Structure 1
Amino acid sequence: MCDDIHEGLIHDPTVSRRTFGLLSAAAAGGLATSAYAADVVEKDVEVKTADGAADAALFYPAGKGPWPGVLIWCDFLSLRPVFREMGRRLAGEGYVVLVPNFYYRSRKAPVFDGAFDFANQEHRAKITPMRALLTNEKIEADAAAYIDFLDAQPQTNKTKKVGVQGYCMGGPLTVRTAGVRPARVGAAATFHSGALVTTEAASPHLVIPKTKAAYLIATAQNDDKQRPTEKDELKKLFADNKLKATVDVYAADHGWCVKGSPVYNEAEAERAWGELLKLYKANLA
């Protein structure tokens, strides 16, 4: 899991229960709610897991399919409007996209009301107990349930591989997902990920040899300064296991891909998005 919490990672003024409720109402009716969503169907769904039912957002192109499936792991604050927008945008490119609330054991999304300040200890204290429930075993069980849910959708092309992508703490979750379903996951992408190489016995990087996916590791420049050897260790690990991978440091800080973050960097976010689409086009076959 992501143990690195960076001040100011996300400040999303759109995160409120009223806003989220309005978006959810539109989604329940399959209505488009974004400029990216002209030909996209959006639905609020529940995914059955070993511990209950995870609330999630499902997106897929309008019209005839089927299309490859993609799972998105959000950052520290889980499912909220900015990640719904990502899901709609990706679905518009020809994918069936599932964006779950990984804190479902504690609270339905959005899990935090109002703007979130990582420098505020009271704000962080409200999320920490929810996060503590996400053990590696729980994450892996949930990942399997999410992929099985995608495969059960009539819009999903089950002859194609599945993609998975994650942001911040969603980075390690992405790697673990590729290990849970190595025969299904054909591409995995992380953006400003939490630590992927640690000294812990359950370090995420130890899962990589069990996977068969092609990888895109997009690292923030300030994360690279904190973990300067990680990129080289990952490159060697991918090469040793004959896995296709692009490991790159972006000229932007942790959180740069997420609109609403004070460090959002549109140019680098769009570059990362373009690389993501190349990864999926080449490997979800």
Structure 2
Amino acid sequence: MCDDEIHQGGAQGLTYDPGVSRRGFGLAVAATGLASAAHASPDVTEKDVDIKTADGTADAALFYPAGKGSWPAVLIWTDILGLRPVFRDMGRRLAAQGYVVLVPNPFYRVKHAPIVDPSLDFNKPEDRAKILDPANRKGMDAPGIDRDAKAYIAFLDAQAQTNKKKKAGVQGYCMGGPLTYRTAATVHDRIGAAATFHGGGLVSKDHADPLSPHNLIPQMKATVYSAVADNDDKSQPDAKDVLKASFAAAKIPARVEVYDGCAHGWCVKGSAVYNEAGAERAWSELTALYKKALA
């Protein structure tokens, strides 16, 4: 369910994740207090890095396989709760599979990660308003995201561990879905694979809206996989058909699949709607996509 779209400065799809509501939000906030070091892998090197962008300095987490070698680059866009341990775990897991992975704090213009205060109580209106405050998305309009995407891919390409002869990948969750589409369109010469999981607002209610993420599809050159939440599909049943038709018209290889029984937010551990079977299926699809498109 993506009815709570936030349009700030013309941005599309910056949505509140309904899968992280009340009890689920509390679980997710508690997860931000976990020490990432506890999940460290001896096979992966992890660094906190700062990235110069056109709008300032973004804090981010960088992961790559330990030892000598070079690997394809992948950018991960988080959901509305931003960079936190659960997304560090995703970055670490993906790096262990043979990728150089960057997970930036998308809200760097406002606050260093984590943006969620563990003491927040989502049941309190004043606390709920803090995380949903549009001010948190300062600069996250379409041009701002495009500038960020270019900066993040350039940073990845500047790493000695990145194999620049291979295409890069990008993936996004909830709010990160539209940002993934923007990245695939903006840096189309580098992005060879793009994946979205319970992406919010990929298709605007007004299909002709030039800011609707699906209208960026003709600018892409990537192979795309979009996994749709069951309740998102029920809320906007025509969205998947619009996506499929748009990919077909642009002759972009793509798959759009509805995950029956999986609610919005199902891929992110800590959410009350986390579905392990569905999340592992999604991860398998992601792995297969990158193995083929980034080879």
TM-score if structure 2 supplies the norm length? 0.88
Aligned to 1:54: 58
Count residues in correspondence. Answer: 272
How far apart, CA to CA, are the structure 2 residues paired with 1:182 and 1:162? 10
Q: 1:72 to 1:58 in 2, by over 3 A?
A: same
Query: 1:15-26, aligned counterparts within 5 Å?
Result: 15-16=32-33, 19=34, 22-23=35-36, 26=37
Whether the 8 Å contact between 1:163 and 1:187 is mirrored in structure 2 is yes
Q: C-alpha distance in 1, partners of 2:201/2:218?
A: 17
What one-letter code is carried by the residue in structure 2 that aligns with 1:191? F
| Residue segments in structure 2 that go unaligned for 5+ positions in a row | 1-11
In 1, the alpha carbon distance for the partners of 2:203 and 2:248 equals: 16
Instruction: Report what 1:34 is aligned to.
Output: 39
Partner of 2:276: 266
Alpha-carbon distance change, 131 to 152 in structure 1, aligned in 2, over 3 angstroms: same
CA 1:119–1:3 in structure 2 vs 1: closer, same or farther (change >3 Å)? farther
Task: In structure 1, give the amino acid aligned to 2:16.
Answer: I
Aligned ranges 1:210-249 → 2 under 5 Å: 210-249=219-258
Are 2:288 and 1:282 equivalent residues in the alignment? no
Match of residue 250 from structure 1: 259
**Of 28, 47, 68, which aligns to 1:43?**
47
1:188 aligns with 2:194: yes
- Note if contact 1:8-1:119 (Cα within 8 Å) is conserved in structure 2: no
CA contact (8 A) 1:7 1:117 kept: no
| Percent sequence identity over aligned pairs | 59
1:7 touches 1:118 (CA, 8 Å); kept in 2? no
Which of 4, 8, 16 lines up with 1:5 in the alignment?
16
Cα gap change, 1:120/1:140 in structure 2, threshold over 3 Å: closer, same or farther?
Answer: farther
User: What residue identity is the alignment partner of 1:170?
Assistant: G
Deviations 1:144-188 (A, max 9, x none): 000000000000000000000000010000000011111100000
Shift of 1:34: 1.8
Contact 2:145-2:179 at 8 Å conserved across structures:
yes
Q: Distance between the aligned counterparts of 1:68 and 1:103, measured in 2?
A: 25
Aligned residues of 2:16 and 2:175 also touching (Cα < 8 A): no
SS in 1 for 2:31: coil
- The equivalent of 1:207 in structure 2 is 216
Instruction: Check 1:119–1:8 CA distance in 2 against 1; reply closer, same or farther (3 A cut).
Output: farther
TM-score, normalised by the number of residues in structure 1: 0.91
- Residue type matched to 1:195 in 2? G
Contact persistence 2:109–2:138 (CA under 8 A): no
Given the alignment of the two structures, is residue 149 of structure 1 paired with residue 155 of structure 2, yes or no?
A: yes
Equivalent residue number for residue 168 of structure 1: 174
TM-aligned CA distance change 1:246 to 1:8, over 3 Å: closer
- 1:108: which partner in 2? 112
Distance 1:212 1:116 in 2: 41
Instruction: Structure 1 unaligned segments of length 5 or more: list them.
Output: 27-32
CA distance in 1 between partners of 2:46 and 2:59 (Å)? 14
Q: What residue identity is the alignment partner of 1:253?
A: A
TM superposition shift of 1:52? 1.2
Q: Which of 239-248 and 125-134 deviates more?
A: 125-134
Q: CA deviation at 1:126?
A: 1.6
- SS of 1:47's equivalent in the other structure is strand
Q: Alignment partner of 1:107: what SS?
A: coil
RMSD of the TM alignment (CA)?
1.6
User: Distance in 2 between the 1:8 and 1:186 partners?
Assistant: 29
Using the alignment, how far apart are the partners of 2:119 and 2:290 within structure 1?
Answer: 33
Bigger shift: residues 191-200 or 252-261: 191-200
User: Structure 1 counterpart of 2:126, which letter?
Assistant: E
Q: 1:8: Cα distance to partner?
A: 4.3
**Cα deviation 1:44-94 (Å, max 9, x = unaligned):** 000100111100000000112100000000000110000000000000000
Alpha-carbon distance between aligned partners in 2 of 1:218 and 1:117, rounded to the nearest angstrom: 30
Per-residue CA deviation, residues 223-280 of structure 1 (Å, 9 max, x unaligned), is 0111100101111111111111110001200010000000000000000000000000
Tell me if the contact between 1:74 and 1:99 (Cα under 8 Å) persists in the aligned partners.
yes
